[in-house]
């Protein structure tokens, strides 16, 4: 039974990896080509491009760490490898999540209709708000890296004190859980920001629909459609984000299971849903990206027919 689950999870991981790499690569290439062609790029496309590039790195780092964990577990206990993997993953994960949060903020400021003076001030300065959000996230990244480095230093000191294999393995498991717990706590901040933007979008939509009812106009106007489209994108992001967050939290939970590698594989599969699934949502939710994707698929299908004929 465990062999069947192992093969199934490996297949799921492979599919998620392919979708994550090629989906984000497609998004980045299309936006960069359009940027070169027009010699300018919108703020939303710039965020999507940066997000796609960070997601490629995110998926690649997760897959690399997984292969090392499965094929060369002893290498995971090497001090240099620990520093490289943990710090690089922390940085890539940070920018991936915060860029997605900036996208949620962008949707909120561009689409929501609120009469609040602070909102109107921020709405006219959406580019500065997005840039400021990324800049404000940098101190959080620095603190996160410092905490991770402290955990690595403590783990190395404990390994030097007791050099037995079982002790080192147990210490590594504890370090792995503490590091994941640390990253889980730090991901709560952008998650909270995205959740607030989602709730404010709902509030804005409710106010807009109420005003439409009072003026006896059709509720399916352009603003309503834009609200609903943005809400679909943000709620999907939050759902996938929650799955990713839970996968981190469960890995940091003390859990003694016989098939530890199988359980770890489940967590990896759950974690990869976030960057892979969200790229599909962004492509399908963006008219230009969706049309380019469909035309590319039609071109590939025609090429395959020509080759087979």
Indicate the helix (H) or strand (E) that contains 158.
Answer: helix 126-161
Vertex 265 angle, CA 233 and 170, to 5°: 120
Q: What is the pLDDT of residue 256?
A: 47
Instruction: Check pLDDT > 50 for residue 212.
Output: yes
| Higher pLDDT, residue 105 or 258 | 105
Q: Give the tokens for residue 227.
A: 């609200």
**Phi and psi, residue 112, nearest 5°:** -65, 150
The DSSP line for 56-74 is: HHHHHHHHHHHHHHHH-GG
Under DSSP, is residue 206 helix (H, G, I), strand (E, B) or coil? helix
Q: What percent of the chain clears pLDDT 90, i.e. is strictly above it?
A: 17
Burial class (CB in 10 A: 0-12, 13-18, 19+), 300: exposed
Do 51 and 20 contact (CB within 8 A), yes or no? no
Q: What is the pLDDT of residue 259?
A: 41
For 110-146, write each residue's pLDDT tens digit. Answer: 887 777 888 888 888 899 999 999 999 999 999 998 8
CATH superfamily for domain 2-308: Rhodopsin 7-helix transmembrane proteins (1.20.1070.10)
């Amino acid at each position: 039974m465990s062999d069947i689950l192992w093969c199934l999870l490996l297949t799921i991981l492979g599919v998620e990896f392919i979708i994550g790499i090629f989906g984000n690569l497609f998004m980045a290439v299309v936006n960069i080509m359009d940027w070169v062609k027009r010699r300018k790029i919108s703020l939303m496309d710039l965020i999507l491009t940066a997000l796609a590039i960070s997601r490629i790195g995110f998926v690649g780092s997760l897959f690399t760490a997984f292969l090392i964990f499965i094929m060369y577990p002893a290498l995971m206990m090497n001090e240099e490898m620990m520093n490289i993997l943990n710090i690089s993953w922390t940085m890539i994960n940070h920018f991936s999540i915060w860029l997605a949060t900036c996208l949620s903020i962008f949707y909120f400021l561009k689409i929501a209709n609120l009469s609040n003076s602070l909102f109107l001030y921020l709405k006219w300065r959406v580019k500065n708000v997005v840039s400021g959000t990324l800049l404000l996230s940098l101190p959080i990244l620095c603190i996160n890296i410092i905490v991770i480095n402290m955990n690595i230093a403590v783990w190395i000191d404990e390994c030097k004190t007791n050099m037995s294999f079982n002790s080192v393995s147990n210490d590594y498991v504890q370090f792995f859980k503490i590091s994941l717990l640390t990253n889980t706590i730090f991901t709560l901040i952008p998650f909270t920001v995205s959740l607030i933007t989602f709730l404010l979008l709902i509030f804005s939509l409710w106010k807009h629909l109420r005003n439409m009812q009072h003026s006896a106009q059709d509720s399916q106007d352009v603003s309503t459609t834009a609200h609903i489209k943005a809400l679909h994108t943000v709620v999907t992001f939050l759902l996938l984000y929650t799955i990713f967050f839970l996968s981190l939290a469960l890995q940091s939970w003390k859990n003694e299971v016989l098939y530890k590698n199988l359980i770890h594989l489940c967590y990896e599969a759950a974690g990869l849903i976030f960057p892979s699934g969200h790229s599909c949502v962004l492509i399908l939710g963006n008219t230009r990206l969706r049309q380019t994707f469909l035309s590319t698929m039609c071109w590939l299908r025609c090429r395959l027919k020509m080759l087979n004929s």
